[in-house]
Amino acid sequence: MTGGSVIGVCIGEATPGEASFISREMPVTGEYVTLEFEETRVLGMVESLVRGSPAISGDIIDPDVVERILKFEGSGGQYVRGRVRLLGDVKDLRIPKVPPPPGTKILRADTETLRQLFSTGSIRIGTLLSNPEVEVKLDANMMVSRHLAILAITGAGKSNTVSVIVEGLIGLEGMPIIFDMHSEYGDAGFTSVKKIAPRLNPVYLSFAEFKMLVDVGKDAYIQERLLRKAFKAAKAGMKGRGSFIEKILRKLE
């Protein structure tokens, strides 16, 4: 058996995608682990943890009882239950076809295994939170040949991640094109940047597109009605010369 220290064993029912375990020590949520079964070594992640004590159960309603138990038995005898999400075979990250059997040991993933999985790319974006010794690198060829989504809550660092990836692509002599809808990357400090100011001919926009462009809200019914009338009138009057926007503004005055 290869890997790090044993942190628990599988108990109860399991599926090819997740398993329950029990442990005497406290792992960390988000920690990577490995399991070996059916001649396969599988990578997993600790997804949830519960700590309990057989002596101090949830049926106790008197705090004095807890104090007496702690006085005579101490804080020992606690257990930790958790769930592990199985991410796939460490060789190719394919989900196993069979679940791990009860009693399967769960080991802390060793640094070398994590490096083989996360550090073989060409663009470094950071390190693993659970193991800072492991650099996380993306495969540039695979990334640019497929769709890529960067998903996170507000403030989690999506824009910064994009900046790091773009800088990495530039370092590989790539030429990324950024549609900067919110003006987040204009002052990011990239090398060899060519800014292209967007230009649209509003004459060729539909009213729905034009309304979105000028940011008329969906609840602004009066503004939408007035803008629609001015938009149609300006369209009808575009046979001659003159600015389309100026025609709309004159209709709105």
Q: What is the pLDDT of residues 36-47, one digit of tens each?
A: 999 899 999 999
HEC string for the chain: CCCCCEEEEEECCCCCCEEEEEECCCCCCCCEEEEEECCEEEEEEEEEEEEECCCCCCCCCCHHHHHHHHHHHCCCCCEEEEEEEEEEECCCCCCCCCCCCCCCEEEECCHHHHHHHHCCCCEEEEECCCCCCCEEEECHHHHHCCCCCCCCCCCCCHHHHHHHHHHHHHHCCCCCCCCCCCCCCCCCCCCCCCCCCCCCCHHHCCHHHHHHHCCCCCCCHHHHHHHHHHHHHHHHCCCCCCCHHHHHHHHHC
Share of the chain above pLDDT 90, in %: 38
pLDDT at residue 241, rounded to an integer? 67
100: pLDDT strictly greater than 60 = yes
Count of C-beta atoms within a 10 Å radius of residue 222: 7
Overall pTM surpassing 0.95 (yes/no): no
Q: Domain-by-domain residue ranges, the chain?
A: 6-116, 202-252
The residue with greater pLDDT, 79 or 85, is: 85
Q: What's the chain's average pLDDT?
A: 86
Residue 113's pLDDT band (boundaries 50, 70, 90)?
very high
Residue 218 has which token pair?
């969906």
